[in-house]
Amino acid sequence: MADVKTLGQFIIEKQADFPYAKGELSRLLRDIGIASKIVNREVNKAGLMEILGKTGVTNVQGEQQQKLDVFANEQFVKALSSGGECCIVASEENENIVRIDSAVSKGAKYIVAIDPLDGSSNIDVNVPVGTIFSIYRRKNLAVPASLGDVLQRGTEQVAAGYVIYGSSTMLVYTTGKGVNGFTLDPSIGEFCLSHPDMKTPETGTIYSINEGNYVHFPQGVKKYIKYCQVEDTATYRPYTSRYIGSMVADLHRNLLKGGIFIYPVTAAAPNGKLRLVYECNPMAFIIEQAGGRATNGMDRILDLEVAELHQRSPIFIGSPAMVRQAERFMLEAGELSFSDIPYSLHNRFL
Ligand code: P6P
C-alpha cells in the first residue's frame, strides 16, 4: 500500500495549490467521490437489478430519463447536500437549480453543475457512461446564491472533472494546475492515483463524430471529415473513426491517445446538442489543462457567454493540431463566428 496515493491524500497534498483551500475543495471532491462510488456500484450491477430502462419521464432536455439517471442525480445531490460546501446544484436532470438550504444557511461558497450520468442511453447495452462536474465559487458571498452564480463563463471554474464507469472506474479532475486521474480500487473502495499529470498528444489519428448526421453538418465539418478520410501516409491519414455515443468515453480515449471529438450543429440540434454549463465547459477546462483545445468551431468554449442553464453549444475538442485543422475548414467555408452573434439569435445564422 506504500506507493498507493488515494484521492483524499492527493487533494490534501495539493490543497496549497487551491486558492480557497481550507479543506473546502477536499470536502467537495470527497462528496463527489462518495456519490460516484455509489453510482458505480449500481451501474456495475444494473443488469441484475430492476434499475435498467426508462422511467417513462421525459427530462428537461426532452430526453427519455433512464432509471439510473434519476438514481445518479439523487446520489450527487444527497452527497453534496450533506457535505455542506455546496449551496446550489445545477443538474442536467433538473429544470431549475437545486438550492441546498442547509448549506446556504452555513454560507457555503460553492456551486456544482453536473451531468450525473452522461451517455445514459447506453446503459442498457453495457457501454461506458460517465458523470461530468464543474465547480464554481459564488460571485458575491454577501448576497444569496442564485442562478447568476451558475451562469458564469467557463474560465471562472475553480475545478472540473469526470468519472468514467467503464472497464474500470476512473475519476479525472483539474483545479487549474494540470489533470490527474484516479482509478477506483474496489478492494479498498478508494480512488487511487493512476494517471498523474495527464497530457493529451498535440495531434492524433482518431476522429469522433456521429456521421449519421452528415447531410446536416456545416460545410466546414463535411470538408474536415473528407480530409480525415484522404489517403496520405505522410500525415497518417486516413484517420480512424471511433464514436461511442458517450461523450465521457470518447473524450477520455481521445485525451489519452490523441484525437478530436466534434458535435457540431445539426438539423436536430441547431445550437449543438451538448450542454455548455455541465458538459462542454468542464470538459473544455480539463482538455485545456491537459494541453488540448476546445472551441465551438470558431471561439474558445471557456470564453463563451453563458446565458441559460441548459444552453447548448457546438464543440470541437481534443488534440490542438486536429482542432485547429477543423477550424480552418470552418473558416474557409465561411462559417460565422458565434461570438459575434447574441446567443438568442444563433438559430438564425446556422
Ligand atoms: P448522438 C449522450 O446522450 C450525449 O449527450 C453524449 O454523451 C454523446 O456524445 C452524445 O449525446 C451522443 O449524441 O446524437 O450522436 O447520439
**pLDDT tens digit string along 278-295?**
999 999 999 999 999 999
Ligand 1 atom 14 nearest Cα: 210
5-47 pLDDT, tens per residue? 999 889 888 876 666 656 787 889 889 999 999 999 988 876 6
Q: Give the domain CATH number at 297.
A: 3.40.190.80
Q: Find the 257 Cα to ligand 1 centroid distance in Å.
A: 20
pLDDT band at 177 (very low <50, low <70, confident <90, very high): very high
Domain-embedded: residue 2: no
Please indicate, yes or no, whether residues 213 and 303 belong to a single structural domain of this protein: yes
Q: Do the domain assignments include residue 259?
A: yes
At residue 63, does pLDDT exceed 80?
no
Domain match, 162 and 229 both? no
How many Cα neighbours within 13 Å face the side chain of 158? 22
- Rounded (5°) CA angle 282-221-230: 115
Residue 305 in any domain: the answer is yes
The reply to whether 75 and 188 lie within a common domain is yes
Q: Which residues of 83-101 are buried (b: 16+ CB within 10 A; e: fewer)?
A: bbbbbbbbbbbbeebbebe
Residue found by looking up cell 446565458 in the block:
307
Pair (148, 126) in one structural domain? yes
Is the beta carbon of 275 within 6 A of some atom in ligand 1? no
**Same-domain check for residues 221 and 147:** no
Map 155-216 to HEC letters.
HHCCEEEEEEECCCEEEEEECCCCEEEEEEECCCCEEEEEECCCCCCCCCCEEECCHHHHHH
Whether residue 326 is contained in a domain is answered as yes
**For residue 195, is pLDDT > 80?**
yes
Is 160 found in the same domain as 239? no
Cβ of 273 below 6 Å from ligand 1: yes
- Whether 349 has a pLDDT exceeding 50, the answer reads no
Which tens digits make up the pLDDT trace of 108-167? Answer: 899 999 999 999 888 888 899 999 999 999 999 898 899 999 999 999 999 999 999 999
For residue 89, give the DSSP letter.
E
Together in a domain, 185 and 238: no
| Residue 131 shares a structural domain with residue 12 | yes
Residues 48 and 189 both lie in one domain: yes
Predicted TM-score (pTM) of the model is 0.92
C-alpha cell at 4: 498507493
The Cα 311–Cα 277 span in angstroms is: 7
Q: Given 135, 166, 195, which residue is the final one in a domain?
A: 195
User: Which CATH number fits the domain that encloses residue 20?
Assistant: 3.30.540.10
If pLDDT is split at 50, 70 and 90, which confidence band does 340 have? very low
- Which of 263, 265, 276, 312 for a ligand 1 pocket mutation test, highest count of atoms within 8 Å of Cβ? 263
Cα of 132 from ligand 1 centre, angstroms: 13
Q: Is 130 in the pocket of ligand 1 (CB under 6 A)?
A: no
Last residue of a domain, one of 167, 195, 223: 195
pLDDT at 13: 83
* Residue closest to 131 by CA, chosen among 242, 254, 7, 31: 31
Q: What is the mean pLDDT of the chain?
A: 89
Between the CA of residue 285 and those of 128, 152, 158, 176, 329, what are the distances in Å?
22, 13, 10, 8, 24
Q: Per the omega criterion (within 30 degrees of 0), is the bond before 238 cis?
A: yes
What is the identity of the amino acid at 189?
G
* Residue 322 and residue 254 in one domain: yes
Does residue 183 line the site of ligand 1, with CB under 6 A? no
Number of domains the chain is built from: 2
Asked if pLDDT for residue 339 goes beyond 70, the answer is no
> 221 with 323, same domain?
yes
Q: Are 109 and 137 in contact (CB under 8 A)?
A: yes
What is the DSSP pairing of strand 240-241 with strand 206-208? parallel
Provide the phi-psi class of 247: left if phi over 0, else alpha when psi is between -120 and 50, else beta: alpha
Closest alpha carbon to 29 in 150, 144, 182, 165: 182
**267 bridge partner residues:** none
H helix runs in the chain, sequence order: 7-14, 24-44, 67-83, 101-105, 147-150, 219-229, 247-257, 281-289, 320-332
Q: Among 149, 172, 195, identify where a domain stops.
A: 195
Highest mean pLDDT among 30-34, 67-71, 98-102, 195-199: 195-199
Say whether both 133 and 273 belong to one domain. Answer: no
How many whole angstroms separate alpha carbon 181 and alpha carbon 170? 7
Does the beta carbon of 115 lie inside 6 Å of ligand 1? no
Nearest-atom number in ligand 1 for the CA of 268 is 14
51 pLDDT tier (thresholds 50, 70, 90): low
- Cα–Cα distance measured from residue 118 to residue 304, given in angstroms and rounded to the nearest whole number: 22
Dist CA 286 CA 170 (whole Å): 14
What are the grid coordinates assigned to 107, written together? 454560507
Tell me, yes or no, whether 89 lies in a domain.
Answer: yes
Residue 61 near ligand 1, beta carbon < 6 Å? no
Give the mean pLDDT of 186-191.
94
Question: What domain range is 126 assigned to?
Answer: 7-195
Q: What is the DSSP string of 252-291?
A: HHHHHH--EEEE---SS-BTBSSBIIIIIHHHHHHHHHTT
Determine, yes or no, domain membership for 200. no
> 242 pLDDT exceeds 90?
yes
Residue 303 lies in a domain: yes
- 121 close to ligand 1 (CB < 6 Angstrom): yes
Residue 88: is its pLDDT beyond 70? yes
**Residue 41 within a domain:** yes
Q: Is the pLDDT of residue 224 over 70?
A: yes
Contact in structure between 138 and 158 (CB atoms under 8 Å): no
Q: Which of 340, 348, 329, 263 is nearest to 305 (CA)?
A: 340
Q: Judge whether 259 and 252 are in contact, CB under 8 Å.
A: no
Cβ neighbours of 269 (radius 10 Å) = 16
